[in-house]
Amino acid sequence: MTSAAARPPTASYRLQLQPGFTLHDAERAVPYLAALGVSHLHLSPLLEAAPGSTHGYDTVDHSRISEQLGGEAALRSLAAEAHRHGLGLIADVVPNHMALPVPEQLNQPLWQVLRDGPDSPFAAWFDIDWTAQPGPADAPGRGRLLLPLLGDRLGEVLDQLVVDGEVLRYHEHAFPLREGTARLPLVELLARQWYRLAWWRTASSELNYRRFFAINDLIAVRVEVPEVFRATHEVLLRLHGEGVLDGFRVDHPDGLADPRGYLRRLAEATGGAYTVVEKILTGEERLPADWPCAGTTGYDALRRIDGVLTDHAGAERLVAGYQRDVADRTGAAEAALRGRAELTGPHGELAAEVERLLRLVRRIGAAEPALADHPEPVLRDALCALLTGYPVYRPYVVPGEPAPPEAVAHLGGGGGDPADRLLRDLALGRLGRSPEKDEFCLRFAQTTSAIAAKGVEDTAFYRWNALLSMNEVGGDPAHPGVTPDAFHRWCGQQEADWPGGMTALSTHDTKRSADARARLAVLAELPEAWAAECAAWTAAAGPCPDRASAWAIWQTLLAAWPLDEERLVQVVLKSAREAKLRTSWTAPDEAFERALADWARGALGNPGPGPRIAGFVELLAPYARSNTLAAALLQLTVPGVPDIYQGSEEPLYTLVDPDNRAPVDLGALAVRLTDSAADRAGDLAREKLHLTAAALHLRRSGPLGPYRPLAATGPAAGHLLAFGRGPRVVTAVTRLPYGLRRSGGWRDTVLELPPGRWTDELTQRHYEGGPLQVAWLLEHHPVALLTEGR
């Protein structure tokens, strides 16, 4: 048998490791996952994370596999069991950041930087601007690291700070003390440290370290420094070299100074191991062709699959109804631009990042007076406008190389005022080389990615609630729907450019799982009926404290029905805080939150809306079933490597994290995998599980072959999406099923099958090549997976 390490994946299965689901649990699941048909396990981050972490992205120690997950011995045991079953392991790598602050002594590099300051041999590990804060009292010119962790101003919490030997403690936090300072009076002791403890509200304007988006307790790591790359990747690279790990998923490459350089270094260190990147592509943006990787983690596939199953015209009518109901004509694109702009203002969450860029401009101007004659307010406004208006996540300019044409186009032409031209030329690397100019170029790109993620996905997508299935990672609600022709073009491009990239539908970061979105997508086919139903539910529940939130709450109930009060209130409050209109994480309005939560609870328990919601879910059920099975089969058979999120081989109706990260009972799935065809009849869970297994085993049996669109003819041809994979595989799925029923069904719609004797792998029915009535093909299922000669 060819080893798993020696072959590329045919499909992967994502497991969310955490204290409640460890490497030992993953090992017990291997026989089931092998029987399901995947070729690789896709593991969430493996290195030691903060105690109790349920996701692993808050690394505290790069030198060991997480003991909370079972340690290296458990990982080796899992790998051995996986390899015995012909499966490989793909590990999630987090190169951009690690946890701050840290439990005592866990993160030795950061602990030493806090103790020894810029003279620490580990100071180069972290992306800190030491010039932005005055230094300790005895070294004022050296700088300090701002730690915005205090619950109030320093003077109000002095009595909560405790010196314990050589450690300073504040509640659960611990900080090392600079040598010789432990016996000083507390105020003097604080003034002598290489860090400045501050009220958490100072972070937005005074922070002097790069972080993951706007999360203060995740400090950026300078992985572009070779010694930092070696130290932070040593364990994972050793395990790859020893055959324990077979591939990698790279988290948040857009946070890195040089994503291409990082991927080149990783490819060189692994001999070209299978690697995918969590790159979020916007609109028609393509992954840079010179990145040495297999492709993305699949959000671009998610958007096309969801889009081709969404009624564009109906979605537009639904948007118009939403705008009338909430009395706000703001469109999705305007909401996204507004969300970005708010982050960069003087009180925005990313104001500190803007300030750091302005400090660089001032230093550049000090060295080159010809570049200095720009008033500070003018520079600030111009910089904020460039950051806000950048239409994709980031440019990929490498100092010393010509700027990519896409970056030049996105930053606009040569016009604008002098300050605008200066900043644009600095961002594009056009003004020569210096350490400060190079840093501005790279840091500008890193900042645009944070603004895009926070301003759009984590702000606008929680404000603009017309159709929540469009508000997904990598989504584009301003352009709902994808035509079949556009879908086929994208599949052809993927096959040509990134055939090994992942395809995804549900992940640990999706705001709603694929099946929840499949249910919501039906609303675009009956927008007027939905708007009327929504109005009736609101009338029965009484006035909502926020009309836009009412739309979100009703759709949340539909998407995850049935759900309990705790799940509903959790997502409602998170959504309201992320929207940052009436409340937020940093400035919570307790009265508004209490009123909104009470309204949500009342809506769920109200004897008026409750039965109507259940009835509407039942009305949508046959069409949601069609969308669920269609999306699953498309993900499994389009070009790329399907990445199955844990538990999503059956219908999964989860919401935004932490709701979507709970452990899954894989043992129960293993039992149901053996069900007979009779057991599956009329049971969507078993139908989807069977479909997934059938397609995965087909993929494992050999390459599917070249992609080619297939067109149906007849009155309902637009409702069939079909394509071939080589000469012996055909996928056919129903799209817009509610509209299909309203128009009279398939009638005389025909699909021309290539010559041969074809078998539907889902029903075992046989068909001869030539014209085939779609009504017969899809008599029992809304999808078909046809093979010839098997």
pLDDT tens by residue, 165-183: 999 999 989 999 999 999 9
221 DSSP assignment: B
What pLDDT was estimated at residue 349?
94
What pLDDT was estimated at residue 1?
35
174 bridge partner residues = 169
The residue among 295, 310, 309 whose CA lies nearest residue 642 is 295
Spatial separation of the C-alpha atoms in residues 210 and 370, rounded to whole Å = 29
At 694, give phi and psi (nearest 5°).
-60, -45
* Mean per-residue pLDDT, 691-698: 98
Q: Which residues does 299 contact at the CB level (< 8 Å), separation at least 6? A: 278, 280, 281, 472, 473, 474, 504, 507
One DSSP character per residue, 370-408 reads GG--S-HHHHHHHHHHHHHH--SS-----TTSPPPHHHH
Q: How far is CA 139 from the centre of its chain?
A: 42
Q: Give the distance between the most distant pair of CA atoms in the chain.
A: 89
Could you tell me the strand order of the sheet in which 161-164 lies? 161-164, 167-170, 173-176
CB of 640 closer than 8 Å to CB of 301: yes
The residue among 743, 736, 739, 732 whose CA lies nearest residue 779 is 732
CB of 688 closer than 8 Å to CB of 632: yes
For residue 5, is pLDDT > 70?
Answer: no
What pLDDT was estimated at residue 134?
92
CB of 462 closer than 8 Å to CB of 347: no
The residue among 696, 685, 713 whose CA lies nearest residue 774 is 713
For residue 693, is pLDDT > 80?
Answer: yes
For residue 282, is pLDDT > 90?
Answer: yes
CB of 146 closer than 8 Å to CB of 209: yes
pLDDT tens track for 354-409 = 999 999 999 999 998 878 888 999 999 999 999 999 999 999 999 999 999 999 99
Spatial separation of the C-alpha atoms in residues 158 and 167, rounded to whole Å = 15
pLDDT tens track for 208-225 = 999 999 999 999 999 999
325 DSSP assignment: H
Average pLDDT, the chain: 95
6 DSSP assignment: G
What pLDDT was estimated at residue 182?
96
For residue 4, is pLDDT > 60?
Answer: no
CB of 130 closer than 8 Å to CB of 143: yes
Spatial separation of the C-alpha atoms in residues 621 and 745, rounded to whole Å = 17
Q: Which residues does 17 contact at the CB level (< 8 Å), separation at least 6? A: 23, 26, 43, 44, 45, 46, 56, 66, 69
Q: Which residues does 185 contact at the CB level (< 8 Å), separation at least 6? A: none
Spatial separation of the C-alpha atoms in residues 512 and 655, rounded to whole Å = 4
At 277, give phi and psi (nearest 5°).
-120, 140
What pLDDT was estimated at residue 677?
67
What pLDDT was estimated at residue 146?
96
> Residue holding tokens 């539910």?
537
What pLDDT was estimated at residue 572?
98
pLDDT tens track for 293-336 = 999 999 999 999 999 999 999 999 999 999 999 999 999 999 99
Residues of the chain with pLDDT > 70: what percent?
97
Q: How confident is the model at residue 625 (pLDDT cuts 50, 70, 90)?
A: very high
Write out the H or E segment, with its range, that includes residue 567: helix 565-579
For residue 750, is pLDDT > 70?
Answer: yes
Spatial separation of the C-alpha atoms in residues 307 and 469, rounded to whole Å = 10
Spatial separation of the C-alpha atoms in residues 604 and 611, rounded to whole Å = 10
At 588, give phi and psi (nearest 5°).
-65, 135
CB of 704 closer than 8 Å to CB of 729: yes
pTM value?
A: 0.96
At 297, give phi and psi (nearest 5°).
-85, 0
Q: E strands along 566-680, which residues?
A: 641-645
Whole-number Cα distances in Å, 431 to 69, 425, 443? 49, 6, 16
Whole-number Cα distances in Å, 254 to 297, 396, 472? 13, 9, 18
The residue among 545, 285, 499 whose CA lies nearest residue 407 is 285
What pLDDT was estimated at residue 100?
86
- The residue with greater pLDDT, 372 or 1, is 372
281 by DSSP, 3-state: which? Answer: coil
Whole-number Cα distances in Å, 355 to 167, 195, 199, 345, 440? 32, 19, 19, 10, 12
